Chain A
Amino acid sequence: MPNLKDLKNRIASVKSTRKITKAMQMVAAAKLRRAQDAAEASRPYTERFNAVMAGLAASVGGSDSAPKLLSGTGSDQVQLLIVMTAERGLCGGFNGNIAKLAKIHAQKLLAAGKTVKVFTVGKKGRDAIKRDLASHFIGHVDMTDVKRVGYANAQGIAKDVLGRFDAGEFDVATIFFSRFENVVTQHPTAQQIIPAKFKMADDAEATLYDYEPGEEEILADLLPRGVATAMFSALLENAASEQGARMSAMDNATRNAGDMIDKLTIEYNRSRQAVITNELIEIISGAEAL
């Protein structure tokens, strides 16, 4: 049986762990609200944008002169996986799940004889990818200094990726991120962004628009923005998911610490009682011996 002092120290240490996890949970809760607000604020733009793009893509997409960002390069040999994760850990399975999805995807592509290149956003994803797919790793964007994800960040990443596309480094790009559903559920998601795919809304009214300048010019202008927009909403979803995952992970940790403290306290009280009983027995038997 561990002695009393050890037990006391352990209880103290678990208590301070609980304090930390509790604090982290509350911080995550506050950040989650902000991240959710940001995600919500970006939604009108994204929805409108996709609706317009879907209309444009439907009318221009079929022609031979459609931009490469929409119609593809005609091959799907070189695949770029853009893995977007958090900069920090301690958020449950959040980073792991995204990395796992990307790895499974990469293995499938490799088995099919494709060339795989991996680009990471966020330190945790890079660490996970470097372990298994180091030879496919081509670039990384560091977001450590970014406190609040802005559209400029997404533009920066998009510019990098588009530069590589123009240089012919890959044919198909897919982003991996976690879609935020609620605090306990986040879905790791893969979304193809190059060539772009736009879903027609079901209730899309078939308005015939005049395009100024021409449809193709507008499309050529908007497609790179579409990449940035997709990145931006992925970053925002990720930010919300990260905080949600951290919140529930820290909630669990706090509860576990509480359980552990209870158990240790019972053990502590028992051993204390045992020590007292022992002492009493010694005194009584000493007195009887006289």
Chain B
Amino acid sequence: MANLQFDLVSPERRLASVEASQVQIPGADGDMTAMADHAPTITTLRPGVLRVVHGGGTDEYIVSGGFAEITATGVSVLAEQALPRSEFTQEVYSRMLAAAREAHGQAKEVFKNEHGPVDDAAKLLADMVAIGGHIGLTAND
């Protein structure tokens, strides 16, 4: 089976660059799995788990948003914030969750009569909570 080149970069560093057989991406409109010869696609990401399957096993990364560029021969994920699953501890998670809650609270105050931004913030928060469920961390209130 043909492989594709997978790159994961955040503004601060390049996290991964491997040859993978498939990449599961938490797209804004739903999860998708990219394999070789995928149609060229650009999608935004929601906070979620990025799963990369390659010869040496499966790597998981937590991304907080950004976008992914998929071509027939490769996937590059440009994440705003990304961490390998192993470095994603309860502490980090709680901090990100707190930031999402705060953003939601602010959006509710600032945009009292507009639903758009509040809904966006609420979705972000819900996505963050969902990550916890996926990887076994608690979203303690």
A residues lining the B interface (CB < 8 Å): 38, 41-42, 44-46, 48-49, 52, 56, 150-151, 154, 207-213, 217-218, 221-222, 225, 229, 232
Contacts and interface: CB of A to CB of B under 8 A. Distances in A.
A229 B40 contact: no
A209 B42 contact: yes
Interface of B: 7, 9-14, 27-29, 39-44, 66-67, 69, 71, 76, 78, 80-81
A151 B12 contact: yes
Contacts of A46: 11
B44 A210 contact: no
A44 B69 CA distance: 13
A44 to B, nearest CB: 5
B14 A212 contact: no
A41 B41 contact: no
Nearest to A225: B80
A177 to B, nearest CB: 16
Nearest to A38: B12
Contacts of B27: 212
Contacts of A44: 7, 9, 14
A223 to B, nearest CB: 12
* Interface of A, helix, strand, loop or mixed by DSSP: helix
Contacts of B80: 151, 225
A42 B12 contact: yes
A251 B34 CA distance: 53
Contacts of A56: 42
A210 B42 contact: yes
Contacts of B14: 41, 44-45
B11 to A, nearest CB: 4
Nearest to A205: B71
> Which of B44, B66, B80: most chain A CB closer than 10 A?
B44
A45 B12 CA distance: 8
B41 A211 contact: yes
A209 B13 contact: no
Given A52-B42, A207-B40, A225-B80, A213 B11 contact: no
Given A212-B27, A218-B67, A41 B40 contact: no
Contact of B42 (A45, A151, A211): A211
B42 A41 contact: no
Given A42-B13, A44-B7, A213-B28, 9 more contacts: A41-B13, A52-B67, A151-B11, A151-B12, A209-B42, A211-B42, A212-B42, A213-B44, A218-B44
Contact of A209 (B41, B66, B81): B41
Q: Pick from A38, A56, A211, A232 the residue with the most CB of B within 10 Å.
A: A211
B11 A229 contact: yes
A154 B80 CA distance: 12
Contacts of A221: 28, 44, 67
Counting from the closest, the 4 A-B pairs by CB-CB distance are: A212-B43, A151-B11, A210-B41, A41-B13
